[in-house]
């Protein structure tokens, strides 16, 4: 009887999926406001499903398209920079300070701290493996004077070697210290000292409408500067990283800007340029990782080479995510179904099995994959979750102690 009810639910699910696919073909642009979360514990659990909803997102290490930068005139911003460049040298502004764009002073301060990143690896050409071929390019930000550089994971993905080029043209071989696909961040190391490290700001203080400047190497054009405003805060993209919230900007960013700096009017880096929307009905929508969320991940990558995240050790059946109203309509259990459990993992040790339908964790009802993922995102390694599940009509309780999982 339950199988018949589930079959009816599946038919409705397939029809709903057809409607979603039609929306994808229409290139409908979708974004959502991210809920405020505990930033101290906000980490991805590494298994969150990505469901296409018509959003077309281009990663800027190899994407296409452009956005329109907005011109701003904020005289006080130029004076606030105190004419200090990232090298510690005085910046001489030409002409009347009251008339010059603040973007000039911002660019002169931050540009020395932004680098070009080139990646090399094996290239498959008509079935032939060609080694040491240039795979792509992007941007990076000097994090410390002793040679640590921040960039995006997708910039260095699949690379066997990396070079970093400073704004003055000096080129260094770089070592990949650590990389994290969930946050789309990576840290490089060059053997150099006294580099012009960027000044990092406080992205929590950003306000919609304030001036921002994007600096990077789009399409191979080094030291490119564009300006705009903060268009939105706490954004999430459905087919990009769900581990981080994003700053939305209309500053023009393009392929190669990935890993570059989004800077406030004080010349402080408040974001890592990472993605943009590419759609026939959208323009001027770029996104940067918030620097306050970037910093702890970078520190962990430097110290450990990876980011530790709590995990349950389950794979979820994407075809069975049943909310309360659907459960009542089709008379099937509410919740999400476990497709598989990792051998020796936390869920298996706690007694959960493939086929169990998780419907409650602690005091939270589980009606979708996101419900469970959000709970784990805000947990630490070693936290214990009280999981209630339906197993062939029988109630099962499991106390799952989250273990450490590397991205």
Is the distance from CB of 115 to CB of 140 less than 8 angstroms? yes
Query: Cβ atoms within 10 A of the Cβ of 108, count?
Result: 21
- Residue with the bigger pLDDT between 118 and 22: it is 118
Residue 343 lies in a domain: yes
In terms of pTM, does the model score above 0.75?
A: no
Q: Are residues 398 and 337 in the same domain?
A: yes
Q: What is the pLDDT, as a whole number, of residue 346?
A: 97
Domain CATH for 81: 2.40.10.120
Residue 39 lies in a domain: no
Q: Which of 282, 306, 330 is the last residue of a domain?
A: 306
Q: Are residues 244 and 324 in the same domain?
A: no
Residue 222 lies in a domain: yes
Q: Are residues 185 and 334 in the same domain?
A: no
- Residue 364's pLDDT band, with cuts at 50, 70 and 90, is very high
Give the mean pLDDT of 20-40: 43
Q: Rounded CA gap, 272 and 61, in Å?
A: 12
Residue 45 lies in a domain: no
Q: Are residues 145 and 282 in the same domain?
A: yes
Among 25, 39, 3, which residue's Cα sits nearest to residue 293? 39
Residue 49 has pLDDT above 90, yes or no: no
Residue 29 has pLDDT above 60, yes or no: no
Q: Which of 269, 284, 306 is the last residue of a domain?
A: 306
Here the tokens at position 100 are 């010059």
Among 79, 125, 118, which residue's Cα sits nearest to residue 102? 79
Q: Are residues 327 and 281 in the same domain?
A: no
Residue 46 lies in a domain: no
The residue count of the chain comes to 407
Residue 54 lies in a domain: no
Here the tokens at position 66 are 């452009």
Q: Which of 255, 279, 306 is the last residue of a domain?
A: 306
Is the distance from CB of 341 to CB of 347 less than 8 angstroms? yes
Q: Are residues 12 and 68 in the same domain?
A: no
pLDDT tens sequence across 283-305? 778 999 999 999 999 999 999 99
Q: Are residues 314 and 377 in the same domain?
A: yes
Domain CATH for 355: 2.30.42.10
Residue 150 lies in a domain: yes
Average per-residue pLDDT for the chain: 82
Residues acting as catalytic residues: 154, 184, 258
Q: Are residues 140 and 168 in the same domain?
A: yes
Is the distance from CB of 386 to CB of 372 less than 8 angstroms? no
Q: Rounded CA gap, 183 and 150, in Å?
A: 12
Range of the domain at 64: 59-306
Is the distance from CB of 293 to CB of 244 less than 8 angstroms? yes
DSSP string, 184-200: TEEEEEES-SS--PPPB
Q: Rounded CA gap, 135 and 128, in Å?
A: 15
Q: What is the pLDDT, as a whole number, of residue 53?
A: 29
Q: Are residues 153 and 232 in the same domain?
A: yes
Q: Rounded CA gap, 223 and 233, in Å?
A: 26
Tally of domains in the chain: 2
Residue 180 lies in a domain: yes
pLDDT tens sequence across 190-240? 999 999 999 999 999 999 999 999 999 998 888 899 999 999 999 988 667
Q: Are residues 335 and 400 in the same domain?
A: yes
By three-state DSSP, how is residue 19 classified? helix
Q: Are residues 201 and 79 in the same domain?
A: yes
By three-state DSSP, how is residue 286 classified? strand
pLDDT tens sequence across 252-273? 988 889 999 999 999 999 999 9
How far apart, in Å, are the Cα atoms of 103 and each of 76, 111, 214? 11, 11, 10
Q: Are residues 314 and 348 in the same domain?
A: yes
Q: What is the pLDDT, as a whole number, of residue 28?
A: 37
Q: Rounded CA gap, 267 and 231, in Å?
A: 18
């Amino acid at each position: 009887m339950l199988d018949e009810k589930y079959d009816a639910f599946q038919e409705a699910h397939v029809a709903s999926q057809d409607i979603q696919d039609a929306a994808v073909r229409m290139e409908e642009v979708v974004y959502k406001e991210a809920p405020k979360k505990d930033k101290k514990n906000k980490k991805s659990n590494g298994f969150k499903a990505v469901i296409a909803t018509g959003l077309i997102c281009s990663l800027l290490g190899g994407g296409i398209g452009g956005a329109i930068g907005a011109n701003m005139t904020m005289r006080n911003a130029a004076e606030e920079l105190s004419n200090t460049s990232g090298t510690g040298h005085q910046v001489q502004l030409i002409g009347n300070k009251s008339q010059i764009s603040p973007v000039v002073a911002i660019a002169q301060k931050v540009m020395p701290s932004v680098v070009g990143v080139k990646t090399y690896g094996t290239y498959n050409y008509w079935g032939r493996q060609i080694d040491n071929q240039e795979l792509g390019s992007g941007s990076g930000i000097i994090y410390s004077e002793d040679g640590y550089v921040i960039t995006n994971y997708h910039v260095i993905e699949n690379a066997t070697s990396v070079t970093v080029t400073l704004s003055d043209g000096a080129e260094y071989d770089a070592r990949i210290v650590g990389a994290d696909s969930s946050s789309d961040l990576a840290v490089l190391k060059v053997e150099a000292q006294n580099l012009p490290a960027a000044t990092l700001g406080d992205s929590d203080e950003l306000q919609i409408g304030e001036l921002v400047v994007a600096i990077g190497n789009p399409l191979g054009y080094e030291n490119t500067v564009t300006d705009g405003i903060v268009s939105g805060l706490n954004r999430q993209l459905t087919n990009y990283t769900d581990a981080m919230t994003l700053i939305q900007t209309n500053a023009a960013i393009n392929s190669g800007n990935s890993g570059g700096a989004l800077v406030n009017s004080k010349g402080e880096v408040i974001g890592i340029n990472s993605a943009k929307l590419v759609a026939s009905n959208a323009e001027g929508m770029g996104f940067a990782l918030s620097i306050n969320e970037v910093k702890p991940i970078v520190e962990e990558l430097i110290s450990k080479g990876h980011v530790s995240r709590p995990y349950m050790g389950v794979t979820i059946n994407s075809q069975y995510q049943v909310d309360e109203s659907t459960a009542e309509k089709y008379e099937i259990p509410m919740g999400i179904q476990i497709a598989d459990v990792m051998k020796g993992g936390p869920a298996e040790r706690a007694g959960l099995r493939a086929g169990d339908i998780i419907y409650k964790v602690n005091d939270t009802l589980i009606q979708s994959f996101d419900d469970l993922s959000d709970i784990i995102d805000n947990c630490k390694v070693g936290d214990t979750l009280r999981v209630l599940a339906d197993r062939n009509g029988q109630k099962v309780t499991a106390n799952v102690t989250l273990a450490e999982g590397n991205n």
